[in-house]
Amino acid sequence: MVQDRTLVFLFSFSALGVLYAMNTIPEFQEPYVILETGVAVLVIVFLFYYLITRGNPPKDFLFFVFAEFCFTCVIDLTSALEYDGIISGFMDFYQKTGEPYLGTSYAIMMCYWDGIAHFILYLMMISRITDRWAAYRTLGLFWAGSLCANMSVFITGIVAGKYGSEVRPAFWLNFLFLLMPVLGAVTLFTRPKDRPLIGGYNAQHVQTMKLIWRPLDMILVVLLLAAMAFTVLRGLVALDSPLEACSVYLSQYEPYLKDPVGYPKVMMLHLFFYGLPLLGAFVYGLLKPGCTWMSDWTTFFAGAMIQCQWSHIGGSLHSRTTTPFRIPNDAFWTVLGANLLYAAVPVLVAMRVHSNPYFFLKIAPFPGQTGLPNSEEKDTKYKEK
């Protein structure tokens, strides 16, 4: 309940004590000692939450994942603040012998996202789990999409970019933060939905309407097609395509895509190979009625996209990005606007699906000829939920 969430919130900041101790005791600053200490701390944090909840254990094992990750969110936020010179005295050792690539502009923005956005999501989901009646499946899918995108780009970017030769033992801790959201996503996708999948009369009526009579859906389809074109363009740039359009875009609009740190290129390839098919699937889902999978996958992809674009836009504007890779002044607002719109499109699609989902429901078989009483009852129950 509220006290559980408050306890998690307060205990998470004990991470500052751990960081301060490691930063002041030289014996804790050796690369393998950092790895061993990191594993030990994660185990201790898990045991702490396990022991204090034994009398009234949470029914969802993801409670322990979210509580554990609240602790690491504080570490990520501390790292970002220290690299930006806002605080000091906590992460000097980690910058040198832990994970030096956390000082890149992309990684700093990624840490801000984890330390703020993910931290808030964890507290909200913990509150709903301990409430035992509140559903958090939609929030969970958004988190899973965000952290999967976060860690997959981060890990791949480390080994594929200029820091690939500077991998230290602490690097291997990152795989835990990739494995957990994948496991969480699989768990949440296989759970029953928070809302019914069967619609009645209202769903049948909406699904008979052509796209031309659904202006919002028509606008979203156009935006999705534009997003697909943008994804293809930047994907080809990342693949070093010799096309003139790619060369012009790289030199005059987003030279950040060729930043040697590797993260921008890896992100574009992720979106090209994984995001592009999903964008195409969403176009299909807006044209073909009864695609019940739309609610889950639009939420998951919205989390992934907004995290990627936050780190990408913030990284390209950050002072640690060298001048040759920053957005040219004469194209600044064009590039910024395109990137913001690109981030907004999946979020808008997800909001549309959840706010008026009748088009994406299966039609209930009607008893008799019309079955209006039963179907209206189903729709009434849906509205109440």
Q: Which tens digit of pLDDT belongs to each residue from 33-79?
A: 999 999 999 999 999 999 998 888 888 899 999 999 999 999 999 99
In angstroms, the CA 95 to CA 97 distance is 6
The residue ranking higher by pLDDT, 192 or 326, is 326
Band of pLDDT at residue 272, cut at 50, 70 and 90: very high
Question: Mean per-residue pLDDT for 201-223?
Answer: 89
Domain boundary among the residues 170, 190, 210 is at 190
Instruction: Give domain status of residue 342, yes or no.
Output: yes
In angstroms, the CA 260 to CA 148 distance is 23
- Do residues 167 and 305 both lie within one domain? no
Q: How many domains does the chain contain in total? A: 2
Instruction: Give domain status of residue 377, yes or no.
Output: no
Q: What rounded mean pLDDT belongs to the chain? A: 90
Instruction: Give domain status of residue 334, yes or no.
Output: yes
- Do residues 141 and 183 both lie within one domain? yes
- Do residues 2 and 146 both lie within one domain? yes
Strands 198-199 and 362-363 come out as: parallel
- The angle formed by the CA atoms of residues 338, 340 and 341, to the nearest 5 degrees, is 65
- Do residues 156 and 265 both lie within one domain? no
Domain boundary among the residues 139, 173, 190 is at 190
pLDDT tens per residue across span 114-148: 999 999 999 999 999 888 666 899 999 999 999 99
Instruction: Give domain status of residue 52, yes or no.
Output: yes
- Do residues 138 and 28 both lie within one domain? yes
- Do residues 238 and 300 both lie within one domain? yes
- Do residues 344 and 251 both lie within one domain? yes
CB neighbour class for 368 (10 Å; exposed up to 12, middle 13-18, buried from 19):
exposed
Max intra-chain CA distance, the chain = 80
Instruction: Give domain status of residue 370, yes or no.
Output: no
| Cα dist from 320 to 108, 262, 360, whole Å | 9, 14, 45
Domain boundary among the residues 162, 190, 218 is at 190
Predicted pLDDT at 1: 47
Question: Mean per-residue pLDDT for 180-201?
Answer: 83
Instruction: Give domain status of residue 248, yes or no.
Output: yes
Range of the domain at 7: 1-190
Instruction: Give domain status of residue 376, yes or no.
Output: no
- Do residues 20 and 142 both lie within one domain? yes
- Do residues 173 and 241 both lie within one domain? no
Band of pLDDT at residue 369, cut at 50, 70 and 90: very low
- Do residues 222 and 349 both lie within one domain? yes
Q: Which residues, at least 6 apart from 329, have a Cβ–Cβ distance to it below 8 Å?
A: none
Q: Which residues, at least 6 apart from 306, have a Cβ–Cβ distance to it below 8 Å?
A: 146, 343, 346, 347
Question: Mean per-residue pLDDT for 266-289?
Answer: 96
- Do residues 202 and 171 both lie within one domain? no
| Residue/partner pairs of 328-335 with CB below 8 Å, 24 or more apart | 328/252, 328/253, 328/255, 331/252, 331/253, 334/253, 335/253, 335/254
Predicted pLDDT at 366: 55
Instruction: Give domain status of residue 378, yes or no.
Output: no
- Do residues 16 and 68 both lie within one domain? yes
